[in-house]
Structure 1
Amino acid sequence: MMGINRRDFLTALGVAGGGSALAFGPQVGLKVFQTLWGEDWVEVPTGLETRINSICQQCPGGCGITVRLVGDRAVKIDGNPFYPINRGGLCPKGQSGLQSLYDPDRIRGPLKRVGERGAGKWESISWDDAIKTVITKLQEIREKKETHTIAIMAGETRGLMQALLERFLLAFGSPNYIRVSDDLAAGPLDAFYLMQGLKEGLVYDLEQANYILSFGCDLLQSFWSPVQVLRAFGYIRRERGSRARVIQIEPRQSITATKADEWIPINPGTEGALALGIAHLMIREGLHDENFIWNNAFGFEDWIDDSRISHQGFKGLVLKEYSPGIVSSITGVPVDVIIRLAREFATTKPAVAIGLRGDVPSQMAVHALNALVGSIDSPGGVLVARDIPVPELPPIEPDEISQKGAQMPHIAQPAKEKYLLADYLPHTFLERASTGEPYKLEALFLYQTNPIFSSFNPEGVAGALDKIPFIVSFSSFMDESSQQADLILPDHTYLERWQDDPVYNLKGYPIIGLRRPVVSPLYDTRHTGDVIIQLARGLGGSLAQAFPGKDFPETLQYYFQKLFEQGRGDLVGQEFEEAWSKLLARGGWRSPSYQTAEEFWQRLQEKGGWWEPIYYYGEGERVFKTPSQRFEFYSQILKERVGVLAEERLKAIGVQVRGDKLFLPHWEAVKPPESNEEQYPFILNIYQPLVFAGLINASQPFLQGITSPAPLERWDCWIEINPELAKKLGISYGDQVWVESPRGKLSFRAKLVEGAMPEVVNIPLGVGHKALGRWAKNIGKNPLLIVEGHLEPLTGRPLINTTRVKIYRA
């Protein structure tokens, strides 16, 4: 491998940033790019220039892309102008996708471990031998009638691929599909469930909003679909006739706060209290939407149940406990600012309040504001995305062994009296893998997830994985978790494989994109969907009949054939076509741009996806699936989950309040009992830069080079400190600083910023890998290593920003 120094690399980045094609430029730039894309690419590509539409997978956003090819080599990625998610736009991560395809450290074929786990000793094996090894292991498990002892842990997976993984487990006889999601990018999904009865489909109609209150949601950096938000933000600020007002409320001055009309610093963890203070003013001054509350809400006023027992409503609680003075003392936000925000929010409609997936009461408090202004299922407010018409696969008939195995308890399901709102939790799975309770896990498959890096306790995760006799990773890269595997069966990159991508946009429209190969596989990799189908056919019996196609592409065509037969929607197209489709749909008409299934499939590949660009307001049965079929300020779902739990159980799980208040939006101080404020005086706030949101792009050097506008922070990690605090501690810009929590300490380079509150220190998340190739290994620090990982009492999900730390010069 040729050598390359940092200076040469940055020089090449400068050339690329100037708009030059990657294959052209100074000789040093060409050498750098040869290094980035492997020793085999030493010639400037030649041949016919073509373009192929596909779908990006650099984050969960699901943007449409157009890949430019010269001959058979992909040389540039741009946005697909037809695709409604991004309309030709693309973020830096999408632009850097070629570095995934041409990464010189990709795993180039199946590997078998030959040394101790984690020792990094592997030998190449054939795909036939690899598949045979897995089948033999699964047959042994099945012969012992222990089919429930296998599990699949998957990252941000959706559509047909998720269906295949779940279907394989069902046919084999295991309940253990474990989905690992990025909670930092998720919205207030728990509040959405408790107050509207829905677990997915939450979208914010930003393009029609006139007033946006963002409670800690860094829209322009770490939203789940960044390009959608960036386009919407530009539209409401520059393009449309009336300029929307954006207020960012958070402890750190993020990119979104910088671009907003106003940044309101707030004490960490008190966002819910501020929301309730705003609600107090709105209700006291009669600024709430009485029509929405009268016709669509439950639990606003005090009420009496069927047993003639009276209950407190949201109005009474808020007016009694959350006056501006009380809220100001909690949040640090001045009283006059609270009053002004309430009046602006209530009178500048349509208005929308956006929150994060933090503690449940705070989620509910923020979401309640949307009901108070009538912004539920209304333009410029909170929408419930229409169902994506996912075609069903043929029914399967598991045999007796599989049926019994699938009925066993989920390995990651916590005790119901422990976390009342949790179906399953990845950390529960790891605990049980360590203890062997309620049963010992025999095999684990890892798909698009790296739990050792993304966990608060990497040593504990590695220890749990070590207790599992057989681990298979489908990763394309040697990440930390793949190092613990027995077999690695590398998947194609997203630019080499077929896949569907169901998603919805911020207008609530259902969309299904088609990800297709833009180049033939560069190495001896294989689509994980093909591997799953091969395993099923090799195991025989009902498993062999579980999939309608002989491989993934054939199954995908079956899937889209069924979509065609549903007779809904049309292929994606230009914005004027959206207007035409809407007009037809409102009149009950439909005029698709294809006639036959064959034409549908062919044009689908050309355009890049399907959609149904219509949203129907006022469908109460779709928007409210609560017991009352209304928006519930008083959550009857939560009341049913709590049931008759004894006082000691509520105390044990960390629930502080009692009575009706527990089921209403309220504020509780999220303060771990072992917290030592005197010894650890600062709150650690972790955030995700755009380039690393989702924790999947650290091995791409172009992104490492733009992590920060300041050169000293690139290819590294840093800590943001308020200048006055730094002065008191004797810390200067660029100093190495120890950040110590009860869990341990790490050193970071100091960055002094006015946008850091004095009692809060901020560290970006995304680097600090111990593996993943030359562009990620041993670069920066992973702040999760010192996060204590306190758990939300009702959901069991980690609360990432509750750790207290102390800082001092290294």
Structure 2
Amino acid sequence: MKRTNPAKGRGVDPKFVPITWNEALNTIADKMMELRKSGESEKYMLLRGRYSYMRDVIYDVMTKVYGSPNNISHSSLCAEAENFGAYYTEGMWGYRDYDVSNSKYVVMWGCDPLNSNRMVPAIIKRFGDMLDNATVAVVDPRMQTTATKAHEWLPIIPGQDGALATAFAHVILTEGLWSKEFVGDFKDGKNLFKAGQIVDEAAFSEKETHGLVKWWNLELKDRTPEWAAPLTGIPKEQIIRVAKGMGKAAPNVAVWLGPGAAMQVRGGYSAMAVHALNGLLGAVDNVGGTLGGAKQAANSMPKLDKYLDETAKKHGKMKKIDQRGAKALPALNGGKSGGGSIANNVATGMLEKNPYEIKMAIGYMNNFTFSCTGAQRWEKAMEQLPFFAHITTNASEMTQYADIVLPARITMFEKWAYVKQKQNRYAHVALIQPVVEPMWDVKHDETEIPFLIAEKLKERGFSNLYDCLVNEYKDPETGLSPRTGQEFALYSVKYYTHPAWSAAGAKIGDKINGWDDYRQRGVWNSNPYEYKQRWGGKFKTVTKKFEFYSETLKKALKGHAEKHKTDTDDILKTCNYTAKGEHAFVPHYEPPFRHGEVKEYPFAFIDYKSRLNREGRSQNLPWYYE
């Protein structure tokens, strides 16, 4: 569809009219070439929401070869603060796996795995056995699906997760319930962890961890259940009961950290505090605990160097529109200043034209004018955006700002793609394949549409993207290059999944006899994840150990501070954290950041994912919930 009303705004009728795919693609290619010819390719932006692992083509390949730094993922809206917790304790930036089949105590913290987790069927299958074999506790303000069936529900006051986590840690230490095998012990065997008392660091001998006594002295010694109860709304008796339950079940404990505990201002330290419990209990990489992930049989994105011209090399290195790495926006993904996305700040960057103006954007599987906090900023930003193309399965709030609307195939039923996942010690490479013919004239969002755009760009004298796609994404069975968008959709998924259905995959998992066999099976499964494979100094942290005192975070914060010619205390203050000095490097309690006085605004809004969404996009349709 094409917009015929130049005015944009909330409630403004776009007056869309039907057009051909040819006209739509020509319009998009013309806009892209205009920016390239004027030396402004950085002013093109790609916005993605949820995605399959065919994302590389539209998100990375097309954007980078074209010559823009602005491929912006939704990840900071999704789970980056959650990942912060695992990375700055055990060095893993990503979702953890949980060995729930062998757990004796499971804490679902800020998540609802029976309702909206990526692996809902896997948890439903195992949940009956979990209830029989383990104690299940749920920490969530809302009586959600998993909480209704759990043995313990802890209806925490929103934002107080760090208080509860540090109180649990306090009880585990004062009761002597930490894992001696993983953490270590006092040299004389006498427990010196007493409420309010400083402990000599030299008295404790650590094994697989770093900085336990520092953590106690800086934070935990005063975090008693009596202190936490009024903050969290959880009775001290329940805090003690759950903490002791975890300690007695250790190391077969899984503290399942979800976004509810972390995806908020000051949430990074809450995530660290919650995840640190796994280290304290010796559950990391252990039976019934929290795990890394087994190797997955899939190819990486091809190297792009030979397809990058001078424009792409120069403009692709410019600052991104989300302002990541600015003083107030460290985005410390992977320990690097500006290492991660800040999707919700894109609107601010667009409105401020800082570091420059965005003149053209393509979005897919996203609806930021609805799903982002402060959505009014997005409405204003989209109003002033000169050109926007939306690739979508359904008209949404964001679609109303589009100049061109490109209808996409439905992922579950009509599309070639694949996804990578893990659950209960096994990693998966699952094939998504068309099971019905589309009723309408729709196309693959992540593969077919970029290929068709590449053809149009080639017609206009820029063939680099087309050359990359036809040369690098050949059919691994025949060696043929794709000639059409639909062939590219098929060949590209065969390229990425080739290890799963070849000898490479058989070395680390299922033996699958070629593409046809893979299509019939629909999934490749790994060999089971090996326990304790990161013990013995193999954690990807600065110390190579599980860090209660995070040298990894210390290095990252200092690096960001030096970049801005200041110190870590100033950075923390700028980012609205209360910690100072050494306190900044341990998991600790931060009081919730909120606008307005509690007396004037007594309620805290808690959102949740509908069980109907399955990680998909949504929009403001009240009947959807009826």
Q: Do both proteins adopt the same fold according to a TM-score greater than 0.5, normalized to the shorter chain?
A: yes
State how many pairs are aligned.
559
Tell me how far apart the structure 1 counterparts of residues 456 and 363 of structure 2 sit (CA, whole Å): 20
SS of the counterpart of 1:445? strand
Residue 675 and residue 591 in structure 1: after superposition, are their counterparts in 2 closer, same or farther (change >3 A)? closer
- 8 Å Cα contact 1:212/1:352 also seen in 2: yes
Q: Specify the alignment match of 2:511 in structure 1.
A: 592
Q: Specify the alignment match of 2:284 in structure 1.
A: 376
Cα distance per residue 1:509-563 (max 9 Å; x no partner): 2211111111222111222211201212332332221112332212222333455
Q: Kindly state the Cα deviation for residue 206 of structure 1 after the two structures are TM-superposed.
A: 1.5
Cα distance per residue 1:604-651 (max 9 Å; x no partner): 111112221321223228962111111111112221222154444432
Unpaired runs of at least 5, structure 1: 1-109, 305-309, 571-584, 595-599, 699-765, 769-774, 781-810
SS of the counterpart of 2:7? coil
- 8 Å Cα contact 1:500/1:556 also seen in 2: yes
- Quick check: 1:421 aligned with 2:421? no
Equivalent positions of 1:510-659 (< 5 A) are 510-528=427-445, 529-540=447-458, 541-547=463-469, 548=473, 549-550=482-483, 551-561=488-498, 563-565=500-502, 567-569=504-506, 592-594=511-513, 600-620=514-534, 624-643=539-558, 644=561, 645-646=566-567, 647-659=569-581
Residue 393 and residue 655 in structure 1: after superposition, are their counterparts in 2 closer, same or farther (change >3 A)? closer
SS of the counterpart of 2:167? helix
Tell me how far apart the structure 2 counterparts of residues 194 and 234 of structure 1 sit (CA, whole Å): 33
Q: Which amino acid aligns with 1:414?
A: R
Tell me how far apart the structure 2 counterparts of residues 362 and 538 of structure 1 sit (CA, whole Å): 49
SS of the counterpart of 1:429? helix
Q: Specify the alignment match of 1:364 in structure 2.
A: 272
SS of the counterpart of 1:513? strand
- Quick check: 1:254 aligned with 2:148? no
Cα distance per residue 1:433-457 (max 9 Å; x no partner): 1121111111100111011110223
Cα distance per residue 1:300-335 (max 9 Å; x no partner): 98489xxxxx99711323452212222224323333
Tell me how far apart the structure 2 counterparts of residues 681 and 115 of structure 1 sit (CA, whole Å): 42
Q: Which amino acid aligns with 1:627?
A: V
Q: Specify the alignment match of 2:155 in structure 1.
A: 265
Equivalent positions of 1:283-302 (< 5 A) are 283-294=173-184, 302=201
Deviates more, 1:398-407 or 1:553-562: 553-562
- 8 Å Cα contact 1:604/1:610 also seen in 2: yes
- Quick check: 1:351 aligned with 2:240? no
SS of the counterpart of 1:291? coil
Q: Kindly state the Cα deviation for residue 407 of structure 1 after the two structures are TM-superposed.
A: 0.7
Residue 593 and residue 535 in structure 1: after superposition, are their counterparts in 2 closer, same or farther (change >3 A)? closer
| Match 1:678 to one of 576, 596, 599 | 599
- 8 Å Cα contact 1:498/1:516 also seen in 2: yes
Q: Kindly state the Cα deviation for residue 285 of structure 1 after the two structures are TM-superposed.
A: 2.2
Tell me how far apart the structure 2 counterparts of residues 303 and 488 of structure 1 sit (CA, whole Å): 65
Q: Based on CA coordinates, which of the two structures has the bigger radius of gyration? A: 1
Cα distance per residue 1:625-681 (max 9 Å; x no partner): 111111111112221222154444432321211111111111011133x42122222
Q: Specify the alignment match of 1:668 in structure 2.
A: 590
SS of the counterpart of 2:394? coil
Q: Specify the alignment match of 1:451 in structure 2.
A: 368
Residue 697 and residue 591 in structure 1: after superposition, are their counterparts in 2 closer, same or farther (change >3 A)? closer
SS of the counterpart of 2:606? strand
Q: Kindly state the Cα deviation for residue 591 of structure 1 after the two structures are TM-superposed.
A: 7.6
Residue 185 and residue 206 in structure 1: after superposition, are their counterparts in 2 closer, same or farther (change >3 A)? farther
- 8 Å Cα contact 2:76/2:341 also seen in 1: no
Deviates more, 1:510-519 or 1:160-169: 160-169
Tell me how far apart the structure 2 counterparts of residues 591 and 461 of structure 1 sit (CA, whole Å): 46
- 8 Å Cα contact 2:3/2:17 also seen in 1: yes
SS of the counterpart of 1:328? helix
Q: Specify the alignment match of 1:335 in structure 2.
A: 236
| Match 1:175 to one of 32, 45, 69 | 69
Q: Which amino acid aligns with 1:498?
A: K
Q: Kindly state the Cα deviation for residue 420 of structure 1 after the two structures are TM-superposed.
A: 2.5
Q: Which amino acid aligns with 1:524?
A: D
Residue 459 and residue 164 in structure 1: after superposition, are their counterparts in 2 closer, same or farther (change >3 A)? closer
- Quick check: 1:690 aligned with 2:611? yes
Greater helix fraction, Structure 1 or Structure 2: 2
Tell me how far apart the structure 2 counterparts of residues 348 and 615 of structure 1 sit (CA, whole Å): 21
Tell me how far apart the structure 2 counterparts of residues 394 and 677 of structure 1 sit (CA, whole Å): 53
Q: Kindly state the Cα deviation for residue 177 of structure 1 after the two structures are TM-superposed.
A: 1.2
Q: Kindly state the Cα deviation for residue 695 of structure 1 after the two structures are TM-superposed.
A: 5.9
Tell me how far apart the structure 2 counterparts of residues 173 and 166 of structure 1 sit (CA, whole Å): 11
Tell me how far apart the structure 2 counterparts of residues 526 and 668 of structure 1 sit (CA, whole Å): 47
Q: Kindly state the Cα deviation for residue 112 of structure 1 after the two structures are TM-superposed.
A: 4.4
Higher normalized contact order (CA 8 Å, seq sep 6+, divided by chain length): 2
Q: Kindly state the Cα deviation for residue 689 of structure 1 after the two structures are TM-superposed.
A: 3.4
- 8 Å Cα contact 2:294/2:527 also seen in 1: no
Tell me how far apart the structure 1 counterparts of residues 37 and 225 of structure 2 sit (CA, whole Å): 66
Q: Which amino acid aligns with 1:288?
A: W
- 8 Å Cα contact 1:536/1:546 also seen in 2: no
- 8 Å Cα contact 2:88/2:553 also seen in 1: yes
Residue 658 and residue 256 in structure 1: after superposition, are their counterparts in 2 closer, same or farther (change >3 A)? same
Q: TM-score, normalised by structure 2?
A: 0.83
Cα distance per residue 1:710-732 (max 9 Å; x no partner): xxxxxxxxxxxxxxxxxxxxxxx
Identity %: 25
Q: Which amino acid aligns with 1:119?
A: D
- 8 Å Cα contact 1:421/1:641 also seen in 2: no
Cα distance per residue 1:256-310 (max 9 Å; x no partner): 2221112233333222212211211221222111220149xxxx98489xxxxx9
SS of the counterpart of 1:488? strand
SS of the counterpart of 2:114? helix
